[in-house]
Amino acid sequence: MSFDSLGLSQELLRAVKQQGYTTPTAIQMQSIPAVLNGGDVMASAQTGTGKTAAFTLPMLQRVNDGAERQRTPRVRALVLTPTRELAAQVQQSVSTYGRYLPIRAAEIYGGAPMGKQTAILRRGVDIVVATPGRLIDHLERGNVQLGGVDILVLDEADRMLDMGFKPAIERIVKTLPAHRQTLLFSATFSGAVRGLAQRFLNAPQLIEMGGSNAAAEAVEQAAYLVDSHRKSELLSHLIGSRNWHQVLVFTRTKRGADRLAEQLERAGIRAQSIHGDKSQGQRGRALNAFKRRSVRALVATDVAARGLDITGLANVVNYDLPNNPDDYVHRIGRTGRGGDHGSAWSFVGGDERRQLQAIQRTVKADIPLQVLEGFEPTQRRRSGPPPSRRSGPPPRRPSAAAGRSTSSRGPGGPSGHSSRRPS
Ligand code: AMP
């Protein structure tokens, strides 16, 4: 199937073609016609599956059609996202895909000066992409009116709920017309997400993409058992010996992120950290340096990394395992995007085996625990089968996730890669 058959306008097809996309991803095939039809949509899709274009393209088309019919300027579409990074990325997609349309959009999030955002909102925009807290600040100051919104998008709804945005979303939705189109995208359909959908969506079309762990299936996964105090050394060793030019590393705490970035720098590896205590400017600069590859390792906490889209990122390291297995799925979804090859490496301290087991249950895959020669743990094991011993890169193994076929891979990738298009 090609993009031409989805009902998109020539302007949008031109922009899509310029991006080099030839075939719509599975979520795009289902979501684009459904959104163009005007009904509500509830879709389970990870980042990395092409979900941003799945709602942005038809949203742009509907906003443009509406704007052509009535010349009155007003906010016609509102996208709510959990983090600034995701808001900035969605806004980037809006401007990329909408480059041949006369549509103005604004990105509104905290950590950036109010003044500039206020000026943009007051000049008038067609689309607002916002994090809930900062949008409420602008609503309270009368900088923006949302009474003319035709389309509401709740992006990464599960994450917004996890981050405690439910009351803020409720407040914002109260300012919107009852008669509107609402689209909800979420990695998982938890009870809380379904509850949100019941409140805000009207007879939505359900789109479920091959279970909620699609991103996890597209990425090769490996785990190393290692003493916690030697994790930094193991990371430097892998970066050097496997010649990783760009690696995104997750730590559990902000202090841990700063400390690790310093340790890597001392080991001669250019590294920076991003987390919630850094200003938006600092986060943006670190991210850009990483994208330009002048920084080799970006060390991030979960919140800071939510929604990051780094084209061609090949390696993600879980330096600390997350307590919430859903965070693992989000983390590894930063790689293996748009059908690219991606690898996820987890460092498992003696006291983190339980988290690994929970993660394996969530991703429905066996992630074999291995020991790298020279990094044998000295801490006493608690439970579980003995890890296998490896001196080189781990072998391939069939993917346990969804029974997909394995593919060959280049040297240095973890085992269990299932080669597939994003779904
Ligand atoms: P998303 O899930 O929206 O974060 O998108 C993941 C990545 O896939 C982004 O880098 C997009 O640019 C890319 N992408 C989106 N749609 C397609 C497509 N149809 N073909 C190839 N790449 C795509």
Q: Rounded to the nearest 5°, which phi and psi values hold at 217?
A: -70, -20
Q: How far apart are CA 390 and CA 161, in angstroms?
A: 41
Find all residues with CB under 8 Å of 89, minimum gap 6, and list them. Answer: 52, 307, 308, 309
Kind plus residue range of the DSSP H or E element containing 363: helix 353-363
Owner of token pair 């997609």: 93
Structural domains in the chain, CATH included, are 3-208 (3.40.50.300), 215-398 (3.40.50.300)
* Cα-to-centroid distance, 310 and ligand 1 (Å): 11
CB atoms within 10 A of CB 358: 16
Residue length, the chain? Answer: 423
Residue 55 in this model has a pLDDT that exceeds 50: yes
Band of the pLDDT at 39, cuts 50, 70, 90? very high
Residue 68 in this model has a pLDDT that exceeds 90: no
Q: Say what the pLDDT of residue 389 is.
A: 61
* Cα-to-centroid distance, 335 and ligand 1 (Å): 12
* Cα-to-centroid distance, 419 and ligand 1 (Å): 16
Q: Say what the pLDDT of residue 246 is.
A: 95
Q: Say what the pLDDT of residue 341 is.
A: 78
Model pLDDT for residues 221-252, shown as the tens digit of each residue: 999 999 999 999 999 999 999 999 999 999 99
**Beta strand ranges found along 194-260 (DSSP E):** 205-208, 220-225, 247-250
Q: Say what the pLDDT of residue 329 is.
A: 84
* Cα-to-centroid distance, 46 and ligand 1 (Å): 11
Band of the pLDDT at 125, cuts 50, 70, 90? very high
Cβ–Cβ < 8 Å for 34, 211: no
Model pLDDT for residues 133-145, shown as the tens digit of each residue: 999 999 999 999 9
User: Edge to edge, what strands does the sheet with 388-390 contain?
Assistant: 271-274, 297-300, 247-250, 315-318, 343-348, 220-225, 369-372, 388-390
Ligand 1: does its nearest atom lie under 6 Å from the Cβ of 423?
Answer: no
The predicted model gives 107-131 an average pLDDT of 95
Cβ–Cβ < 8 Å for 414, 221: yes
Band of the pLDDT at 32, cuts 50, 70, 90? very high
Model pLDDT for residues 134-187, shown as the tens digit of each residue: 999 999 999 999 999 999 999 999 889 988 999 999 999 999 999 999 999 998
Nearest CA to ligand 1 atom 20: 21
Q: How far apart are CA 339 and CA 422, in angstroms?
A: 5
The best mutation among 5, 6, 19, 340 to test binding of ligand 1, ranked by most ligand atoms within 8 Å of the C-beta, falls on 19
Of 37, 411, 399, 12, the residue nearest 220 (C-alpha): 399
The residue ranking higher by pLDDT, 387 or 173, is 173
Ligand 1: does its nearest atom lie under 6 Å from the Cβ of 50?
Answer: yes
Q: Say what the pLDDT of residue 165 is.
A: 95
Q: How far apart are CA 98 and CA 108, in angstroms?
A: 18
Model pLDDT for residues 302-327, shown as the tens digit of each residue: 877 776 778 889 999 999 999 888 88
Q: Say what the pLDDT of residue 384 is.
A: 53
Of 95, 92, 139, the residue nearest 114 (C-alpha): 139
Q: How far apart are CA 264 and CA 270, in angstroms?
A: 7
**Cβ neighbourhood burial of 194 (10 Å; 0-12, 13-18, 19+):** middle
Q: How far apart are CA 56 and CA 135, in angstroms?
A: 20
Nearest CA to ligand 1 atom 5: 50
Band of the pLDDT at 47, cuts 50, 70, 90? low
Ligand 1: does its nearest atom lie under 6 Å from the Cβ of 66?
Answer: no
Band of the pLDDT at 210, cuts 50, 70, 90? low
Ligand 1: does its nearest atom lie under 6 Å from the Cβ of 337?
Answer: yes
Q: Say what the pLDDT of residue 169 is.
A: 97
Cβ–Cβ < 8 Å for 25, 209: no
Q: How far apart are CA 310 and CA 214, in angstroms?
A: 18
Find all residues with CB under 8 Å of 261, minimum gap 6, and list them. Answer: 271, 272, 273, 297, 299
Ligand 1: does its nearest atom lie under 6 Å from the Cβ of 311?
Answer: yes
CB atoms within 10 A of CB 224: 22
Of 302, 85, 44, the residue nearest 186 (C-alpha): 44
